[in-house]
Structure 1
Amino acid sequence: MKPVIDCIYTDGACLGNPGPGGWGAVLYFQDGSVYEIGGAERETTNNRMELQAAIASLQLFRDSGQTKPIQLYSDSQYLIKGLTQWLKGWKKKGWKTSTGKAVLNQDLWQLLDQLNNSLVTWKHVPAHQGIAGNERCDAIARHFAQGQQPNLKKTLEFPLTANSDTVAEVKQTIQSETPEPIASKTLANPMEELEERSLEDSRLIQGDRMTGLNHLIESLRIADEIAQKGYLISSSELAELMNVNASAVTSRGSHWSWRNWVVSRVRREGNQILWQLERAEG
């Protein structure tokens, strides 16, 4: 019996943003099998790596010929909201944003649009919260971004179908982004080795900070668009935007401030409380 994909996790990483980047994806199967993939680019951005991880995953899902729905998990709001909320508007505007600017990473978004499947449900997960699939993808992506070749788990053999053309396409995509092995260096003394490790640690810390800032800027941009267009959002959506628990939203009362916005409770619809964001004066 052909193994059935249960869910997929994807992630991207970038040192410097822009800088060396990597991506990783883990496919989990209903029989307990695991299939991991990843790759790298020498000069890229974190967002492009997030998109590339999703592209490679969708290529493999398409190649499997599976008709059973799956869920694809990512900690990238940029990826999830882009596919589920912004893409339709971008296409109507000729790949322009609501402000008339050209959509960034249009080449990857167009490929994602072609590969996206109604059988795939896109789910956002918080980063670095101990979720096994998310943590593993993050580790794979970071290894590739650092120019290292991680030990990828493949407890079953791909392809899952006999379509050799599409299999070759997937393998070519992945292999073309696999970094060349970094030549080993002979260090003169232990202090030199310590200094090199410290430098690499500082680069990783900088990369983490830049990734965090990148997510923050994206969240603030989304909040500004919600306020400008007068959208109403639920407590859970607001909590996701603020990166807090839903209880932290509902416990604040009906009118409060968050960063550059005033948040007001508007009404209740069924079990959901709807909120409005307004840009604070000054």
Structure 2
Amino acid sequence: MLSLRTIEKLYTDGACSGNPGPGGWGVVVYFQDGSVYEMGGGEAQTTNNRMEMQAAIQALKLLAATGQNQPVTIYTDSEYLKKGITQWIKGWKKKGWKTSEGKAVLNQDLWEHLDTLNSKQVDWQYVRGHAGDVGNERCDAIARAFANGRIPTLKQPALSEAFGSEATNGSGYEKLQSSDVSSDLLVTDLAMTESTTNSFTETNHNLSGEVRVTQLRNLIETLRIADDVASKGYLITSSELADLMDIHTSAVTSRGDNWVWRNWVVSRVRREGNQILWQLERVD
């Protein structure tokens, strides 16, 4: 048994620049002593749901690697992930990975992986995204960075600091290394191993043209949607506007009542319940 710090909770999140498109995932680990450990990664072509699931998979791999027996809470802003792993998966397996309509379950490969890693030790909780929760906001920032081809600065103290002294000696370190946890777990943003850095660079070099074209297509589609919203006079909520602009909801509401985004003036119209409604007006 490793002498490791006790994980109290894990936050997971996924992001995608276009859906499908370049994606990223992020995990923030909170220990009972108040310390924090972060990790993340990305894929050149994926979907938002797959990145949400990949984040949870990496979190569960880390938990398994520590050998911890104490209960842990995983927070996700994906109802698809939370309901899938806690409710829907039971029926899917009984039906041979078919939905109630007899169709093949999407992302079966990742659901099977999650099912293998999941246990009664894990308490799955839904947290509303972009609502000011520190853990969720940080996960979102990590995931978005990787989705946009950037490597964020991660809080990754040395293994001996994050997981206890035995994690870097003998069988403890080997257990972490051989646990099939993503390589992002064992490297820092500022001191990555040469092989990991080279692999990431080579992948980006080989795919950069394709990724840039995909991102450009996604941008054009976003601008078309914005034009449609403006020309037809649709009112959209702060969260919908944030999704359109690919920014946090707080960044929308903090800009005031009237401001310019690309080719549009964005104006606050009114509040309906707990939602602020916005209007776009073309200004070229």
Which TM-score band applies after superposition, normalised by the shorter structure? 0.5 to 0.7
Match of 2:34 in 1: 32
Pairing of 1:137-156 with structure 2 (within 5 A): 137-156=139-158
Match of 1:15 in 2: 17
Q: 1:205 to 1:141 in 2, by over 3 A?
A: farther
Q: 1:173 to 1:212 in 2, by over 3 A?
A: same
CA displacement, residues 25-73 of structure 1 (integer Å, 9 cap, x when unaligned): 0000011111101000000000000000000000000111111101000
Match 2:181 to one of 170, 173, 180:
170
- TM-score (ref. length: structure 2): 0.63
Match of 1:96 in 2: 98
Q: 1:11 to 1:203 in 2, by over 3 A?
A: farther
One-letter code aligned to 2:61 = Q
Q: CA deviation at 1:3?
A: 0.9
Q: CA deviation at 1:146?
A: 0.4
Secondary structure, in 3 states, of the residue corresponding to 1:170? coil
Q: 1:94 to 1:130 in 2, by over 3 A?
A: same
One-letter code aligned to 1:164 = E
Cα RMSD for the two superposed structures: 3.5
Bigger drift between 146-155 and 87-96 goes to: 146-155
Match 1:61 to one of 37, 41, 63:
63
Q: How many correspondences in the alignment?
A: 202
The answer on 1:180 being equivalent to 2:201 is yes
Match of 2:77 in 1: 75
Q: 1:165 to 1:70 in 2, by over 3 A?
A: closer
Q: CA deviation at 1:150?
A: 0.4
One-letter code aligned to 2:28 = V
Q: For the residues of structure 2 that align with 1:131 and 1:139, how far apart are their CA atoms?
A: 12
- Conserved? CA contact 1:48–1:108, under 8 Å: yes
Percent identical: 52
- TM-score (ref. length: structure 1): 0.63
One-letter code aligned to 2:65 = D
Match of 1:52 in 2: 54
- Conserved? CA contact 1:39–1:179, under 8 Å: no
